[in-house]
Structure 1
Amino acid sequence: MGGCVSVSISCDQLTKDVCSCLSRNGDYIHGLEENLTALQRALEEIEQRREDLLRKIVSEERRGLQRLSVVQGWVSKVEEIVPRVNELVRMRSVQVQRLCLCGYCSKDLVSSYRYGKRVMKLIEEIELLRSQGNFAVAAERVDAARVEERPTRPMVAMESMLEGAWNRLMEDEIGILGLHGMGGVGKTTLLSHINNRFSRVGGEFDIVIWIVVSKELQIQRIQDEIWEKLRSDNEKWKQKTEDIKASNIYNVLKHKRFVLLLDDIWSKVDLTEVGVPFPSRENGCKIVFTTRLKEICGRMGVDSDMEVRCLSPDDAWDLFSKKVGEITLGSHPEIPTLARTVAKKCRLPLALNVIGETMA
Structure 2
Amino acid sequence: GGVGKTTLLKTLNSELKENTRDYHVVILIEVANSETLNVVDMQKIIANRLGLPWNESETERERSTFLRRALRRKKFVVLLDDVWKKFQLADVGIPTPSSDYGCKLILASRSNQVCVEMGDKEPMEMPCLGDNESLRLFRSNLMAEVSAAIDHDSDMRRSAMDIIQSCGGLPLSP
- Pairing 1:222–2:42 present: yes
Q: Distance in 2 between matches of 1:321 and 1:336?
A: 11
2:158 aligned to which of 334, 337, 353: 337
Alignment of 1:70-219 (within 5 A): 183-214=1-32, 215=34, 216-219=36-39
Q: Which has the larger radius of gyration?
A: 1
1:295 aligned to which of 86, 89, 113: 113
1:192-247 superposed Cα distances (whole Å, 9 cap, x missing partner): 1211221343412110011111124211221121112212522xx11110110111
Large movers: runs of 4+ above 3 Å: 199-202
Q: Distance in 2 between matches of 1:305 and 1:298?
A: 7
C-alpha deviation, 1:299, in angstroms? 0.9
Which one has more relative contact order, counting CA pairs under 8 Å at least 6 apart?
2
Contact 1:247 1:275 in 2 (8 A): yes
Gaps of 5+ in 2: none
- Pairing 1:325–2:143 present: yes
C-alpha deviation, 1:340, in angstroms? 1.5
1:227-275 superposed Cα distances (whole Å, 9 cap, x missing partner): 12212522xx111101101111011111111110111111113111112
Structure whose residues are more often helix by fraction:
1
Q: Distance in 2 between matches of 1:225 and 1:290?
A: 17
C-alpha deviation, 1:293, in angstroms? 1.1
Q: Distance in 1 between matches of 2:161 and 2:140?
A: 12
Q: Distance in 2 between matches of 1:328 and 1:204?
A: 43
2:103 aligns with 285
Contact 1:184 1:349 in 2 (8 A): yes
Amino acid at match of 2:158: T
Contact 1:269 1:300 in 2 (8 A): yes
1:105-164 superposed Cα distances (whole Å, 9 cap, x missing partner): xxxxxxxxxxxxxxxxxxxxxxxxxxxxxxxxxxxxxxxxxxxxxxxxxxxxxxxxxxxx
Q: CA-atom RMSD, angstroms?
A: 2.0
Task: Check 1:266–1:196 CA distance in 2 against 1; reply closer, same or farther (3 A cut).
Answer: same
1:90-113 superposed Cα distances (whole Å, 9 cap, x missing partner): xxxxxxxxxxxxxxxxxxxxxxxx
Q: Name the TM-score, length of structure 1 as normaliser.
A: 0.44
C-alpha deviation, 1:349, in angstroms? 0.6
Q: How many residues align?
A: 168
